Amino acid sequence: MKNLKRQWKFIVVLITGAVGLISQFALHSKSLFSIGNLQFPVHAIIIDIIGILMAISLLLEIFHDWKTGRYGVDILAVIAVVSTILIGDVWAEWMILVMMTGGETLEDYATGQANKELRALLDKTPRIANKLVDGKITEVKVDDLQVGDTVLIKPGQQVPVDGQIVKGTSSFDQSSLTGESVPVTKNPGDELMSGSVNGDVAVEMKVTKAAKDSEYQSIVALVKSSQAQPAKFVKMADRYAIPFTVISLIIGGVAWAVSGDATRFAEVMVVASPCPLLIAAPVALVSGMSSMSAHHIIVKSGPTLEKLARAKTFAFDKTGTLTENQLIVDQVVTDDKSFDQKELQSLAASVEQQSSHVIASSLVKATDKDLIHPVTNLKETTAQGVEGDVDGKHVKVGKLSFVAPGHEKLNVTSTAVYVSVDGKFAGYITLKDKMRPESSKTIERLRRQGAEDIMMLTGDHKQVAEKVAKEAGITDVRSELLPSQKIQAIKDVPKHLRPVVMTGDGVNDAPSLTAADVGIAMGAKGATAASESADAVIMVNDISKVNDAVAISKHTMKVANIDVLTAIGVVIIIELIAFTGVIPAFWGAILQEVVDMITISLGLLAKTKPSDKQFGLEEK
């Protein structure tokens, strides 16, 4: 709503100028009245009324900012508008209003693309549940479920609320909640989290928590809470506000005192109008955002670039972020000299070829097609494994207790499937997350770009997380974390290591993305809760785009700072010239337009390519 009001201000000022021109030149407006030497024709009255209203509006915003401890350069704009009104230079006044409201509109354009953070998350919130009453299914609203109710969860359905299985065994995909890359088998008595997705077998669950207290709904609440308490951040232009304002007022005050003429103060204030300072950063930021878009990165607000440029800590989710959310064969270990590794993998993949389980499909995909043979007498035991006949051999693949009872003491810490042939334990195959090929280089480049701490935040098991972290080059590993613990890890980052950038892709990452100073989502697969909650979204399946985002941000802020300092320097020089009285207010406003054009031209340089050093391609 505030942005809409600011845009309307710009439109009103443009319309006022058009009406003023028509009144002055087409209708030859005459003065309605005069005060001393000041004449008040129709066009002057129209522009003065708008100028006074704008000045009042600005004053109200200034008072509000002062209450929150923010001091900007808007006070100079108010003084400039009031000064031009008092000396009767309406077109100088109008030009100040154009650049002032135009700068606000441009800034709004750079920062007004968000406000959609919760849509995807809320759209996926479970709303309907299959309640069992006397053996009959009744559809009810999730919010109406009570603790102790029994709910039927069909294959492929989302768990509506937290509960406990009372009947049935099935695998549940919890990757979007915990980051675990492999579905987890749940048996009677095991706990289920709302938001997890059932596999192939229907189960009955007893409700243990009401909807408002369940895991998925808690994630929604965490996102709202993180948005309600955004990190404090001072915009770049405001950092120069106080010294620039003080210098300008001193020059204007001394000019008035030396000349004894209040007009001299007004002339200095006109050229001191902060339009170039207000417009410098937004133009550079819009240019930077455009450059981001060309690199397949969508940035939702200008301040995101400011924070990214100064970021010192980078946090990454594991599954789907550093890894490709796909398992690959790690080791093939044989326990029977009758089989070599190639044959063992061939037998296991042949039996698994008709299974839709993620481990089975990953194993089949990792095996040469010529090694996958026909299978007969195929039989699947739910949540245990599969068995069948391949080339005259009876092969069982699955859990160790199913494949080879008595070998339970075998200690394998990785994700694994076990194999027996003709009733004899033959070995096992371990699988691991498939690393993105660019992950390790991304981490290395981030350090070159100035990252002081890089950490992994994941809900996956410690051993799996540490293996991935080692391969990626990350030493700070936090594993087995729930969403709330990820947020706490981000909040615990000390002040001297901020801003914090969090990169993730799952529903479980949404709260931590909003809690971080900058949240970056891997959104190549479409709109997710993560991408809706993030400050920036990478639209291609390439994590090295984080490096590009940092490089473009650093380049953009370098350009913006040069632009702002150049604007301040030029304006102060013009103020000193106006000090002598050789620049009338109208021409001072024209000079302001010239400075604005210089400012805009410099700001557009943010669209140029960053240096190799900013990209992290050069050694420090």
3-class secondary-structure state, position 244:
helix
Query: Got the DSSP string for 140-203?
Result: EEGGG--TT-EEEE-TTPBP-S-EEEEE--EEEE-HHHH--SS-EEE-TT-EE-TT-EE-SS-E
Q: Give the whole-angstrom CA distance, residue 277 versus residue 237.
A: 7
Q: Are 199 and 172 in contact (CB under 8 A)?
A: yes
Phi-psi region of 20 (alpha: psi -120 to 50; beta: other; left: phi over 0): alpha
Distances (CA, A) of 183 to 98, 348, 356, 480, 481: 59, 19, 12, 15, 17
Could you say which of 89, 162, 317, 505 is catalytic? 317
108 included as an active-site residue: no
Q: Give the whole-angstrom CA distance, residue 289 versus residue 304.
A: 10
- Torsion angle of the four alpha carbons 271, 272, 274, 275, in this order, in degrees rounded to the nearest 10: 0
Token output for 620: 């420090």
Return the CA Rg of the chain: 33
What long-range pairs does 66-75 form, CB within 8 A, spacing at least 24? 70/234, 70/238, 71/238, 71/241, 71/242, 72/237, 72/238, 72/241, 73/237, 73/238, 73/240, 73/241, 73/244, 73/245, 73/274, 73/277, 73/278, 74/274, 75/245
Q: Give the whole-angstrom CA distance, residue 549 versus residue 456.
A: 19
Q: Give the whole-angstrom CA distance, residue 489 versus residue 201.
A: 36
Distances (CA, A) of 128 to 139, 174, 403, 508, 533: 6, 19, 39, 21, 24
Q: Are 160 and 216 in contact (CB under 8 A)?
A: no
Dihedrals phi, psi of 539, to nearest 5 degrees:
-90, 0
Q: Give the whole-angstrom CA distance, residue 200 versus residue 379.
A: 15
Place of tokens 């913006």: 560
3-class secondary-structure state, position 126:
coil
Phi-psi region of 598 (alpha: psi -120 to 50; beta: other; left: phi over 0): alpha
In 3-state terms the chain splits into helix, strand, coil percentages (rounded to 5) of: 50, 20, 30
Q: Are 433 and 464 in contact (CB under 8 A)?
A: yes
H-helix segments, 260-371: 262-271, 275-294, 302-310, 341-352, 358-365
Q: Give the whole-angstrom CA distance, residue 242 versus residue 73.
A: 7
Q: What SS3 string covers 75-124?
A: HHHHHHHHHHHHHCCHHHHHHHHHHHHHHHHHHHHHHCCCCCCCHHHHHC
Q: Are 552 and 292 in contact (CB under 8 A)?
A: yes
Token output for 452: 């002081």
Distances (CA, A) of 47 to 283, 287, 335, 463: 27, 32, 90, 71
Q: Are 507 and 514 in contact (CB under 8 A)?
A: no
Token output for 89: 């230079």
Residues carrying an active site annotation: 317
